[in-house]
Structure 1
Amino acid sequence: MVRRRGGGGGSVCWTRRKMAAVAMLGLARTALHRNGARLARSAVMTTAQRSVAHFTFVPEPEPAQYGPTQKMNLFQSITSALDNVLAKDPTAGKERVFNTPLCEQGIVGFGIGVAVTGATAIAEIQFADYIFPAFDQIVNEAAKYRYRSGNLFDCGSLTIRAPWGCVGHGSLYHSQSPEAFFSHIPGVKVVIPRSPIQAKGLLISCIEDKNPCIFFEPKILYRAAVEQVPVEAYQVPLSQAEVLEEGSDVTLVAWGTQVHVIREVASMAQEKLGVSCEVIDLRTILPWDVETICKSVAKTGRLLISHEAPITGGFAAEISSTVQDEGVAGEAAFIAQRVVQSQPHCCGSGVTCGPDQRADTVWMYLKWLSGERERERERLMECHI
């Protein structure tokens, strides 16, 4: 094709240039499409890897002692607990349930003031990662109100709820496990459930308790954990750990989501190593059940604690040191404590890593413990010979 421009003798043939430009544009689009598709697939795979559950939730047996049950996830069981409590609370009403300004210090401070008047106060912090602006109100006001007034006043009817723990794609502001910060504070109770049944019973116990309570809710279980939950109100006692599986060789302790990880590891240990694990859900971080843990370690002689929070200053160190101080296993037994870190952190590439490797980490330490057990048995046999 020839397109004439201007006067009679001048002509410009641009067919070849156009064809070349079109061809290059087509190649560019193809390359862009392929790269885009590859990037999209990579993004989908990365998201899937971040979101994949690092555990398998196994529903608990349907409880018969609390009446009719209904299928609920953990989020729904929390709502059910609130409905039960507010329905019979004379200080409650529709006007008492409202959104607040986005100010954690104000939310908790307001809750303290309401609780001091004798009303039930349930403050919600979204998420536990953002509870730190309220740290002063919790530590210096809520926890010490009874002490500073010589027991004339208290804010014992205050409960602070907060989504807690790793979810697989929450990054630094939606993945933290700050329970250890609050375990150092006399005057508050800290509770973390492992399932919908436990969540409802423990939350109602916190609300009914005459001390301010912090109730951390494993956010990854909100929809991942589903089981038959009693419709009516019931309570699960605070400060009582629960032995989920009896064992004789090693004690595994965890709370929240990590309970499901150690249950899987306990099954692996029995199958692959012939190691019998006693699995315990601590449930209440403060004040914790020293008796149940020490009694178990006295039987097994070994303790492994797994939690999501960072290793340094984690609550597992408190459990380990208490068990050592109590000397529950006797001089002849070998006791080893290892804290397993499962808190995700951002790597240099900006990719969140960690949650899908939790069971592997616990498994590694468990094999180490079982190896120490065999070496200790050999040493004892040599001593006897």
Structure 2
Amino acid sequence: MTAITPDPLADEAARIAPEAEREGETVRMNMIQAINSAMDVMMARDDNVVVMGEDVGYFGGVFRATAGLQKKYGKTRVFDTPITECGIIGVAVGMGAYGLRPVPEIQFADYIYPALDQLVSEAARLRYRSAGEFIAPLTVRSPFGGGIFGGQTHSQSPEGIFTHVSGLKTVIPSTPYDAKGLLIAAIEDNDPVIFFEPKRIYNGPFDGHYDTPAKNWSSHPAGEVPSGYYRIPLGKAAVVRPGEAVTILCYGTMVHVVANTIAETGVDAEIIDLRTLMPLDIDTIMESVEKTGRCMIVHEATRTQGFGAELSAVVQERCFYHLEAPIERVTGFDTPYPHSLEWAYFPGPVRIREALKKILKD
């Protein structure tokens, strides 16, 4: 497959990595490029894959994740929509029911709420309601999370809402390698998938220290991404770091914040990147907690009713007699994301270290 030529308006950091000629060759990509490559690969493999959303066509998306795709595949397969999230998802559900595999983009996760009825009442229930006669194989891409001073309307982490809905799958990658493999698997899946992209790490991993120079994916092992087709199965977590002292469950940006904090403290922690929140890889979680006897959960979303509460319940119900200390949660606070207090809200290294001291002294 030949390389895509990005739109000249695209930011240099988001330009599409050239496609290698040989099968299996890898290229350096940031997460935006990996997501673009996943859609490119799937559109080349399957004419039923279509990309739609606000400014995803000629402009290539606000983060340039769809740059070059309309030029390559045409305006009938990559097209702009009006600013109506319920309309975007409603049309995508209909497309899926009639054999297409739409990949709609919701520009920011904060804007996904007008589409809740279409996602919950239509997409998630179509297979069940039709006794399997119809499916809704749509993959809803949406940037989420803070760390970019987006304030209360561009920083939310609403993943917990969607993990509560039977029939929806929820996926959150933490590296370019995972982003491409998981997105390909999501597009191929016959059920609707919410694919949240942690925008703070689009261009590079984030160690949680906001006052240090930004890093990029060029020197990170997970920035080396196969140029062609590959998939990472949904519902399978990754053990990022093996350890014996405590199990830390996290996903998205928090994977890198946790990993850096552990490196700074020297704690022998086992870090698990959930990758897929629903369906949840319970076996990997249980195996780790039964080994370490301690569990800490880190996520950026608000604490009350956050996905960490479900994780805590799962661990308590299944691993109670292996626990040597109460489960700890490090999360966002129960407030809107404050623009002026971004780093006080963000679950950074200081709060993670405090939780580690507490759980390890018990």
Give TM-score, length-normalised by structure 2.
Answer: 0.79
What does 1:18-29 align with in structure 2 at a 5 Å threshold?
none
Asked if structure 2 preserves the Cα contact closer than 8 Å seen for 1:342 and 1:358, the reply is: no
What is the aligned counterpart of 1:203 among 180, 183, 186?
Answer: 183
Matched, 1:313 2:293: no
Matched, 1:341 2:321: no
CA distance in 1, matches of 2:346, 2:191: 37
Give 1:136 shift: 0.7
CA distance in 2, matches of 1:101, 1:78: 23
Asked if structure 2 preserves the Cα contact closer than 8 Å seen for 1:218 and 1:257, the reply is: yes
Matched to 1:74, the amino acid is M
CA distance in 2, matches of 1:356, 1:254: 14
What is the aligned counterpart of 1:70 among 24, 27, 32?
Answer: 27
Query: What runs of 5+ residues in structure 1 fail to find an aligned partner?
Result: 1-65, 373-385
What is the aligned counterpart of 1:283 among 254, 266, 275?
Answer: 275
> Match of 1:215, SS?
strand
CA distance in 1, matches of 2:341, 2:265: 31
Give 1:179 shift: 0.3
Asked if structure 2 preserves the Cα contact closer than 8 Å seen for 1:253 and 1:282, the reply is: yes
CA distance in 2, matches of 1:361, 1:149: 47
Deviations 1:351-385 (A, max 9, x none): 5343666111111100111111xxxxxxxxxxxxx
> Match of 1:278, SS?
strand
Identity %: 42
What is the aligned counterpart of 2:143 among 159, 163, 168?
Answer: 163
Matched, 1:298 2:290: yes
What is the aligned counterpart of 2:163 among 171, 183, 187?
Answer: 183
Asked if structure 2 preserves the Cα contact closer than 8 Å seen for 1:297 and 1:329, the reply is: no
What is the aligned counterpart of 1:128 among 94, 104, 109?
Answer: 109
Matched, 1:233 2:214: no
Matched to 2:147, the amino acid is V
CA distance in 2, matches of 1:144, 1:211: 10
Aligned in 2, Cα 1:266/1:129: closer, same or farther, shift over 3 Å?
Answer: same
Match of 1:367 in 2: 357
CA distance in 1, matches of 2:171, 2:254: 14
Asked if structure 2 preserves the Cα contact closer than 8 Å seen for 1:269 and 1:277, the reply is: no
Match of 2:252 in 1: 256
CA distance in 2, matches of 1:352, 1:240: 31
Deviations 1:314-339 (A, max 9, x none): 11111111111113543xx4132122
Aligned in 2, Cα 1:354/1:168: closer, same or farther, shift over 3 Å?
Answer: farther
Match of 2:207 in 1: none
Match of 1:223 in 2: 203
Query: What runs of 5+ residues in structure 2 fail to find an aligned partner?
Result: 1-22, 50-72, 205-215, 218-222
Match of 1:90 in 2: 47
CA distance in 2, matches of 1:262, 1:346: 20
Give TM-score, length-normalised by structure 1.
Answer: 0.75
Asked if structure 2 preserves the Cα contact closer than 8 Å seen for 1:345 and 1:353, the reply is: no
Asked if structure 2 preserves the Cα contact closer than 8 Å seen for 1:189 and 1:287, the reply is: yes
Deviations 1:294-325 (A, max 9, x none): 11000100000000000000111111111111
What is the aligned counterpart of 1:324 among 316, 328, 347?
Answer: 316
Match of 2:93 in 1: 112
CA distance in 2, matches of 1:346, 1:154: 36
The structure having more radius of gyration, on CA atoms, is: 1
Match of 2:3 in 1: none
CA distance in 2, matches of 1:140, 1:187: 10
Aligned in 2, Cα 1:216/1:130: closer, same or farther, shift over 3 Å?
Answer: same
Cα-Cα RMSD: 1.9
Matched to 2:146, the amino acid is C
Asked if structure 2 preserves the Cα contact closer than 8 Å seen for 1:266 and 1:279, the reply is: no
CA distance in 2, matches of 1:356, 1:295: 29
CA distance in 2, matches of 1:346, 1:295: 34
Deviations 1:75-133 (A, max 9, x none): 01100110000011132552121000000000000000100001111110010010000
CA distance in 2, matches of 1:328, 1:280: 19
What is the aligned counterpart of 2:239 among 229, 243, 249?
Answer: 243
What does 1:134-145 align with in structure 2 at a 5 Å threshold?
134-145=115-126
CA distance in 2, matches of 1:242, 1:135: 30
Give 1:350 shift: 4.5
